[in-house]
Amino acid sequence: MTEFLLLGFSEVRELQVLHSVVFLGIYLAALVGNLLVIILVVVDHHLHTPMYFFLMNLSILDLGSISVTVPKSMANSLLNTRSISYAGCVAQVFLFIFFIVVDFAFLTIMAYDRYIAICQPLHYETIMNRGACVQMAASAWISGIPISTMQTGNIFALPFCGGNKVDQFFCDIPQLLKITCNDAYLICTATFAYMKPTSSSLSGLDVTVAVLYSVIPPVMNPAIYSMRNKEIKVSHPFIS
């Protein structure tokens, strides 16, 4: 096995270009939104608080996760190819799992930060001091390495005997498991795509769910977590 074949959205050249243009628009929206959050938090000293420190890390993670999947899919459509190298597929799985795991860790940290701010406001600055925030952030980033390494190793340790066609626009774990020789579906969790009944046939639902959990969050998170925050709107009134 030297390469995998990813899902082609269409054999019609015009539709391939349309797919690339749509994904490019989504990708640029994610880049602009998340880079704006990162720049604002870095340059505005009013935003040098634990909450915005964690939001900045979340934006970095969103940029990473969408960059793992969307550019390769766009390039394949433009070049009229479906191939991805074995090493490239391994890298996609490893990095995607890494960014998702660390993303969940930061969402947990942000929930804890809000809990302290609401329930123990008088002790907030003592508990959420600079050192504690850095330690929590470092722990979140580090936690993704062993989990991603273990999951990626488990997947690619399985023999592939069902061909090399991956019915998804990136190396998605459920679709990779479909082409292994083992009935390994019992080890996928975390989303509806991993829990739905297994099937050897391609379902448009698989693609839709994959887009919802891999592409949409990096685009929406800046608006949900940052752009609607009072501090950013006050400091930068051009953001509505």
Distance CA 18, CA 25 (A): 11
Closest CA to 89 of 164, 29, 163, 37: 164
Look at residue 223 in the predicted model and tell me its pLDDT: 81
Strands (E), 113-195: none
CB 201 within 8 A of CB 178: no
Mean pLDDT of the chain: 85
CB 27 within 8 A of CB 214: no
Look at residue 171 in the predicted model and tell me its pLDDT: 92
Look at residue 122 in the predicted model and tell me its pLDDT: 92
Helix 130-156, helix 86-119: angle, nearest 10: 150
Both tokens assigned to 141:
């980033």
Both tokens assigned to 92:
């996609």
Look at residue 25 in the predicted model and tell me its pLDDT: 94
3-class DSSP state of 3: strand
Closest CA to 195 of 182, 185, 204: 185
CB 165 within 8 A of CB 4: yes
Instruction: Give pLDDT tens digits along the chain (240 positions).
Output: 789 999 877 788 888 889 889 999 999 999 999 998 899 889 888 888 999 999 999 999 999 999 999 999 999 988 888 899 999 999 999 999 999 999 999 999 999 999 999 999 999 999 999 999 999 999 999 999 999 999 999 999 988 887 889 888 899 888 888 888 865 544 474 444 455 555 544 556 777 778 888 888 899 888 887 666 666 666 665 555
End-to-end Cα spacing for the chain: 51
CA dihedral over 168, 171, 173, 175, signed as positive or negative? positive
CB 58 within 8 A of CB 225: yes
CB atoms < 10 A from the CB of 56, how many? Answer: 22
Look at residue 180 in the predicted model and tell me its pLDDT: 86
Closest CA to 175 of 215, 214, 216, 206: 206
